[in-house]
């Protein structure tokens, strides 16, 4: 259980660190600092950005841990509403329209951060008490209403500002027009077979075998149970894991017949 919790925590964490490093390298370092950067230079800067981002995340986690008024779940909900939402809105709306000026993305994020600051430091959920005919809100209700109010404000104000910038759109010229046309072509072009990652059947084989071993070990724990009822629970859970692993191993190549691993 502890290993599963750690794995579930690390998986999105590593993805976020790599994503943030990629955003910095491609949108800041290569576009602004060093447009002629080679692949090796980008890789080096990406490693440094990943390290710096990881250190900042550690300090942020320590800061959040010192906050006693909110639980970790409350902090993550507020973080998503106050910071992630204004960043995500222009990225999402860009899939629906590209007819916005080049400055619309960063301007929308700036407006969204201003909206977040207003909702966090100026707006008070107590103003909503007459709507609910209540005397006061509990802590849980306060957090939920603050998150919901912030999300609605971003949808109408931040999202509305992005769509408003379409009024300032002018047809691009020169290299910028070619870049946008290439972007439209890429968005409309499906991934070809050559671009797809090669199929690796070994993952199914390894995971299937590991599940089989895990199921057997869970069943083995039944000998430590104090009663027959307790032992039967371990046996049933272990048997289900064992069956799932066996099925995964047998169907790793898309069929029901077992096949041996190729030596590599």
* Domain locations in the chain as residue ranges: 12-65, 67-187, 202-250
Alpha helices by DSSP H, 137-190: 139-153, 159-164, 175-188
| Each residue's pLDDT tens digit, 45-96 | 999 999 998 898 888 778 777 777 777 777 778 778 888 888 889 988 988 8
For the full predicted model, state whether its pTM sits above 0.85: no
Greatest distance between any 2 Cα atoms in the chain: 79
Distance CA 179, CA 50 (A): 28
Structure tokens given for 72: 């970790």
Tens digits of residue pLDDT in 197-240: 666 677 788 888 999 999 999 999 989 888 888 899 999 999 99
Report the alpha-carbon distance of residue 139 to residue 74 in Å, rounded: 10
């Amino acid at each position: 259980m502890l290993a599963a919790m750690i794995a579930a925590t690390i998986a999105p964490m590593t993805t976020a660190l790599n994503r943030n490093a990629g955003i910095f390298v491609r949108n800041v370092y290569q576009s602004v600092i060093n447009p002629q950067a080679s692949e090796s230079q980008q890789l080096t800067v990406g490693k440094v950005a990943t390290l710096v981002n990881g250190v900042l995340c550690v300090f942020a986690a320590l800061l959040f841990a010192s906050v006693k008024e909110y639980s970790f779940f409350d902090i993550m909900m507020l973080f998503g509403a106050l910071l992630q939402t204004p960043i995500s809105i222009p990225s999402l709306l860009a899939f629906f329209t590209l007819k916005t000026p080049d400055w619309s993305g960063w301007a929308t994020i700036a407006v969204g951060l201003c909206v977040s600051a207003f909702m966090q430091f100026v707006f008070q959920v107590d103003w909503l008490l007459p709507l609910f005919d209540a005397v006061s809100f509990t802590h849980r209700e306060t957090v939920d209403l603050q998150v919901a109010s912030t999300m609605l404000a971003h949808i109408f104000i931040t999202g509305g500002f992005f769509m408003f910038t379409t009024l300032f759109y002018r047809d691009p010229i020169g290299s910028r027009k070619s870049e946008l046309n290439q972007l439209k072509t890429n968005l409309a072009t499906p991934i070809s077979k050559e671009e797809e990652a090669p199929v690796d059947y070994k993952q199914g084989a390894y995971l299937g075998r590991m599940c089989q071993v895990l199921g057997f070990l869970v069943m083995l724990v039944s000998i430590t149970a104090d009663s027959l009822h307790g032992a039967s629970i371990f046996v049933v859970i272990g048997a289900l894991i064992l069956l799932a692993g066996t099925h995964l191993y047998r169907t790793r190549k898309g069929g029901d017949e077992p096949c041996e691993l190729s030596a590599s």
